[in-house]
Amino acid sequence: MKRVVHAACPHDCPDACGVLITIEDGRATGIQGDLEHPVTRGFLCAKVAKYLDRVYSPERVLYPMRRVVAKGPAAYPGEGARATLERSCAPHGRAGAPVPTRAFERISWGEALDEITHRLRRIVAEYGCESILPYSYGGTLGALNGASMDRRFFHRLGASQLERSICSSAGEEGLKSVIGAKLGTEPEQFAHSRYIIAWGSNIHGNNVHLWPFIEEARRKGAKLVVIDPYRTRTAKCADWYLPINPGTDAALALGLMHVIINESLFDADYVSRYTIGFDDLKARAQQYPPEKVAHWTGISADDVRKLAREYATARPSVIRVNYGIQRSERGGMSMRAVTMLPCLIGSWKEVGGGLQLSLSGAHGLNKGALEMPELMQKALGRPARIVNMVQLGKALNSLAAPPIQALFVYNSNPAAVCPNHNEVVRGLKRPDLFTVVHEQFFTDTTDYADIVLPATTFFEHKDLQTAYGHYHVQVSNQAIEPVGECRSNVEMFRALAERMGFEEECFRETVDSMIDRALDAPNPWLRGITRERLEREHRIRLNFGASNRAGTSVSPVQAEHTGAPDKPGFGLTGWKNSAAPFLPFAEGNFPTPSGKAEFYSEALKRRGLDPVVAFTPPDESRHGSKSAGFPLELLARKADNHLNSSFANLPSVRKMEPGIGNLEMHPTDAEARGIRDGDRVRAFNSRGEIVLQARVDGAVPAGMVAARLDWARFSPGGANINVLTSEKLTDMGNAATFYSVCVEVELFRA
């Protein structure tokens, strides 16, 4: 019998797609995007369209496994990348479980839980509970499997807390320092913009469901501008592409504000009603004339002026800024500067105006009910210490009092995604470190696991799904039974809690009850959204109610442009029935300490940061102090068709990413080093080296090179691009600085 189950894609992607899974005789046989979902609109990205290959991959971890040889990929002696992978799938003695050669033996869940609880207890007795470190990030963003039972378990245990800052915390802090919350322009409104800036945002690769709205706007005459050091897919489609030197976005934003203020192109009424610190900003902007900005950014003074004038006058104009600009040493300040722009020109008032970084602030689930931080009190009588995930290498190798003796990894692949890879691996190799990895696949990280536990995919469990790129909530239903002996994060931590003898009721809470309680939050926009309704209706837009309309106005230009009358929510595509566009800041209402958009922030000043905003070049950059001997800026980028390290192991997906394994170079830099297209080259700095294949292809300007994130296992020598990135943290948010890296490159002579 054929049936269709509604699920939601939980991967770490702003789009959080509605997914329809076809089931025949208990097996998934089809997957497609939900046509009814206002943002998914019936299509999926190329990688998730091939999800059946992932769910039914012969490389899935199907059973609990115990290591029987020394840690490390040495368990695959003398094997190259693909061979290793293929060998890793060879059937192992019992029940045909795919096991990487002889590194592991299959054990039962009972044995696995016994061994883990036994080892954890011993470690707690000898070193204290904070010597245990959970390590998780974006494997699934499902509300329950992302952060609920796992948090309860580690809080109750008194384990160290992980500061989850590998991705977005610098940008979030920068954004919030101006507008107070992670709110912004919903994707549906981009169809009504006339001027769209993709700023450090590879929309076509990383946020593809925004693209149709942009195309709709362009059909009506909108202009798309891309500001990115790398000529991305998105840049190739732009009306105007502005390559920018990495880490110089604050300078550009200040230069734009210089022109906008001095030419009186700002919205004086909006500024006076809804912002504070304008005079300070005005004074500061004087220090950034376009000529000076050109020197830092590589964007000509004329282009800075042109961009400022067009952005401020082509209404409505919107900025899609993504996380690209904040993976830089001063990423917080960069984001702060860019966030000031819509506040200055008052574009928050218009449908299709404003800015989008993350919209997750509107979803506000009841996190406390899911995570129960109070359990820490029980274990320790105080909050446990905090360890930053970006500095895993440092934590494993040099943290003391107590040292990390147990690492529990789930929802993450740190041996691929973490900066300063060599240090991470040195730590993971420690024979005295007890490492458990709960995974769907045998990854770079399972190469160092003592115990590997099999994890379900979203096809195999139920969850609640919010989003950071739109305002719709979904329940993701379970479509098939778990494959092999896989367990979801919720069920695995539940079982572990029971084995540890934790008696609290919360460890027995059902999935449905957790969803109910997550939705029962003091967030007015969740009002009326219940599990039952989500199960029936599949997707529900947040209940903005009357606040939808607060101050909404469709400008006369737009009315003409869209055919919409001067009334919100009427005739505008993207909003069905009575829902109207959500304009969070049309009338101010900024949830900042002052209640206004803050061009001047007392809170930043108190923390010793610049209360206005300034540009300082990253130390590790062409203008910085720490680039001596390493003259090229490296962008260690994401792959367009993978998701960080996820999907890189699936042959059908990998085929779509021919650029993987390349080092992209500008002809000038290549020639200066005697390098030709196709040559093998060695990229190196003080932290490490990697051998890649040179591509002299015009994707990067002179002075820059670029490569894509991949599994270490697939690279010759087992190095991954993160051998070159550093553990240095950003100015705000303690985040990673993947895009502030200097290297040198030479021909590789084997």
Ligand X SMILES: Nc1nc2c(c(=O)[nH]1)N[C@H]1C(S)=C(S)[C@@H](COP(=O)(O)OP(=O)(O)OC[C@H]3O[C@@H](n4cnc5c(=O)[nH]c(N)nc54)[C@H](O)[C@@H]3O)O[C@H]1N2
Return residues touching Mo ion (CB under 5 A).
Answer: 167
Q: Where are the beta strands (DSSP E) in 93-138?
A: 104-106, 132-135
662: helix, coil or strand?
Answer: strand
Among residues 709, 719, 735, 742, the one that binds ligand X under rule CB under 6 A: 709
Give the residue with the Cβ less far from ligand X, 235 or 351.
235
103, two tokens = 């590194």
> Measured on CA atoms in the order 741, 742, 748, 750, is the torsion positive or negative?
negative
CB of 712 to ligand SF4, least distance (A): 23
How buried is residue 115: exposed, middle or buried, by Cβ count under 10 Å (0-12/13-18/19+)?
Answer: middle
Give the residue with the Cβ less far from ligand X, 244 or 554.
244
Q: What are phi and psi of 312, to 5 degrees?
A: -80, -20
Give the C-alpha distances (Å, rounded to integers) separating 704 from 269, 382, 512, 658, 746: 42, 47, 50, 20, 14
How buried is residue 416: exposed, middle or buried, by Cβ count under 10 Å (0-12/13-18/19+)?
Answer: buried
Partner from Mo ion, ligand SF4, ligand X, none binding residue 17, C-beta < 5-8 Å depending on class: ligand SF4
CB of 708 to ligand SF4, least distance (A): 17
Among residues 84, 440, 476, 734, the one that binds ligand X under rule CB under 6 A: 440
Tell me the C-alpha distance between 9 and 459, whole Å: 9
417-436: contacts with ligand X (CB under 6 A): 417
How buried is residue 438: exposed, middle or buried, by Cβ count under 10 Å (0-12/13-18/19+)?
Answer: buried
Binding mask 711-740 for ligand X (x = CB under 6 A): ----------xx--x------------xx-
Cβ contact 664:700 at 8 Å: yes
CB of 370 to ligand SF4, least distance (A): 21
- CA 370, 374, 379, 381: dihedral to nearest 10 degrees? 160
The CB density around residue 19, as the number of other CB atoms within 10 Å, is: 27
Partner from ligand X, ligand SF4, Mo ion, none binding residue 15, C-beta < 5-8 Å depending on class: ligand SF4
Give the residue with the Cβ less far from ligand X, 200 or 574.
200
115-144: contacts with ligand X (CB under 6 A): 137-140
Partner from ligand X, Mo ion, ligand SF4, none binding residue 48, C-beta < 5-8 Å depending on class: ligand SF4
How buried is residue 241: exposed, middle or buried, by Cβ count under 10 Å (0-12/13-18/19+)?
Answer: middle
Among residues 278, 441, 711, 748, the one that binds ligand X under rule CB under 6 A: 441
Give the residue with the Cβ less far from ligand SF4, 15 or 172.
15
Tell me the C-alpha distance between 416 and 424, whole Å: 9
Partner from Mo ion, ligand SF4, ligand X, none binding residue 16, C-beta < 5-8 Å depending on class: ligand SF4
Tell me the C-alpha distance between 444 and 577, whole Å: 48
Give the residue with the Cβ less far from ligand SF4, 50 or 336.
50
What stretches of 275-352 show up as alpha helix (H) in DSSP?
A: 278-285, 290-297, 301-313, 331-345
Partner from ligand SF4, Mo ion, ligand X, none binding residue 199, C-beta < 5-8 Å depending on class: ligand X
Q: How many residues bind to ligand X according to rule CB under 6 A?
A: 61
CB of 468 to ligand SF4, least distance (A): 10
Give the residue with the Cβ less far from ligand X, 412 or 592.
412
Instruction: Name every residue whose Cβ is closer than 8 Å to that of residue 34 and which is 6 or more positions away in sequence.
Output: 6, 17, 18, 19, 20, 40, 42, 538, 539
249: helix, coil or strand?
Answer: helix
Cβ contact 642:657 at 8 Å: yes
59-118: contacts with ligand X (CB under 6 A): none
Q: Which residues bind ligand SF4 (CB under 6 A)?
A: 9, 11, 13, 15-17, 44-45, 48, 208-209, 643
Among residues 201, 356, 552, 662, the one that binds ligand X under rule CB under 6 A: 201
Q: Which residue is nearest to ligand X (CB)?
A: 324
CB of 589 to ligand X, least distance (A): 27
Question: Does residue 165 touch ligand X according to CB under 6 A?
Answer: no
CB of 643 to ligand SF4, least distance (A): 6
Angle, in degrees to the nearest 10, between helices 109-127 and 489-500 = 60
Tell me the C-alpha distance between 502 and 494, whole Å: 10
Among residues 277, 324, 588, 617, the one that binds ligand X under rule CB under 6 A: 324
Binding mask 605-644 for ligand X (x = CB under 6 A): ------------------------------xxxxxxxxxx
Cβ contact 404:47 at 8 Å: no
CB of 45 to Mo ion, least distance (A): 15
12-31: contacts with ligand X (CB under 6 A): 12-13
Cβ contact 344:499 at 8 Å: no
Among residues 143, 167, 312, 613, the one that binds ligand X under rule CB under 6 A: 167
Q: Which residue is nearest to Mo ion (CB)?
A: 167
Partner from Mo ion, ligand X, ligand SF4, none binding residue 598, C-beta < 5-8 Å depending on class: none
Angle, in degrees to the nearest 10, between helices 301-313 and 249-262 = 60
CB of 535 to ligand X, least distance (A): 21
Cβ contact 636:625 at 8 Å: no
Report the interface residues with ligand X, using CB under 6 A: 12-13, 137-140, 145, 166-167, 199-202, 205-206, 227-230, 232, 244, 246-247, 249, 322-325, 327-328, 410-413, 416-417, 438-441, 443, 455, 489, 635-646, 709, 721-722, 725, 738-739
